[in-house]
Amino acid sequence: MTDMGQLQLLYNSTATTNEQMMNYYLGLSGDVLKLKDLLYSYCCIPEAFPRVLNDGAIKKTAAAVAAASTSSSDIWSSIQKIYDYVTTNIKYAKDIEMPYISTYWYVTYEGREYVTRFYDEVKTVQNYIQTPELTLNIKQGDCDDQAILAYAMIKYYMKYVYGTEYLLYLASIEFSSGYCHSAVILPVQGGEICIIDPAGNYLTKSGGVIASKAALPELQTYSNYWLHDAGSITYMVLYKVNVIDGSYTVFANGTISQVAAAFT
């Protein structure tokens, strides 16, 4: 074989090895990003919705909805009974520490992205988003878990007991103290809302009975309710979750005034 032929074989062998190595690192980068998404689905909202608020997950609340003594004909009474069931049976408990991957660096080569390192290594956060079934089984959970359970039970009641699925939002709330919270908001015609917050022991009522009230003053009342413990509400995001697959859209976000305006 000529020297030129030997050089060509060496070139082809090196090119093949380089391509194999690049494919390997591309696959490894993909695995890292899949792990990142998986960890976020266990410790972050809204990333957790497809895991905890799909149709299979809400169907597992059927026994709890029945135990709450809901009525197929009285939706308001049934929602109050679901709220009462959660507050009575689910104890507030802080979450465990969960690892997550934050911002990462990558390089682009021939149009493909390769992860090189994490911006600040693997971090932990004291937050674990439970499925409704797990919350019911262990009878405890924090505000996220209780709000998700209430959302799932109300959705199950609407779809499979009452027969009509009305709008419902899961709210992520930030306070001036830095505290974060979750609750459920039911919109009603005429720009009114009903706030359903089992972990915070708050339910929109009139004369001791569940009710709906004009959005802005009710959100202000809700903010004042938290003032001593968490400060005032500074920011809210309202998610509309499709409980078929857990996909979601943002209905409204911003200050109390901006969120209230979305209901008018």
pLDDT at 68 over 50: yes
DSSP secondary structure string for all residues of 110-165: TTEEEEEEESS-EEEEE-----HHHHHHHTEE-HHHHHHHHHHHHHHIIIIIIS--
Position with higher pLDDT, 31 vs 14: 31
Nearest to 90 by CA among 149, 35, 42, 131: 149
The string of pLDDT tens digits covering residues 83-121 is 999 999 999 998 777 777 777 778 887 788 878 777 676
183's CB contacts (< 8 A; 6+ apart) are: 143, 147, 170, 171, 173, 195, 196, 197, 199, 200, 202
As a whole number of angstroms, the distance between CA 138 and CA 136 comes to 6
Mean pLDDT of 67-89: 95
Q: Given this model, what pLDDT does residue 43 score?
A: 82
Domain 47-96+130-261: which topology? C8orf32 fold (3.10.620)
**Of residues 151 and 96, more confidently modeled:** 151
pLDDT band at 28 (very low <50, low <70, confident <90, very high): confident
Q: What is the mean pLDDT of residues 78-84?
A: 97
Supply the pTM of this predicted model. Answer: 0.85
pLDDT per residue over 196-237, tens digit each?
Answer: 999 999 999 999 999 999 999 999 999 999 999 999 999 999
Residue type, 106: Y
Boundaries of every domain in the chain:
47-96+130-261
- Relative to beta strand 104-109, strand 205-206 is unpaired
* pLDDT for residue 8: 54
**pLDDT for the residue numbered 10:** 47
Rounded to the nearest 5°, which phi and psi values hold at 84?
-65, -40
Cis ω before 46 (30° cut-off from 0): yes
| Residue-averaged pLDDT of the chain | 89
CA-to-CA separations, 72 to 79, 241, 242, in angstroms, rounded:
11, 23, 22
Cα separation, 35 vs 30, whole angstroms: 9
The residue with tokens 């109300």 is 154
Mean pLDDT value across residues 248-252: 98
Say what the pLDDT of residue 214 is: 98
- Dihedrals phi, psi of 91, to nearest 5 degrees: -85, 140
Q: How many other CB atoms are there within 10 angstroms of residue 190's CB atom?
A: 10
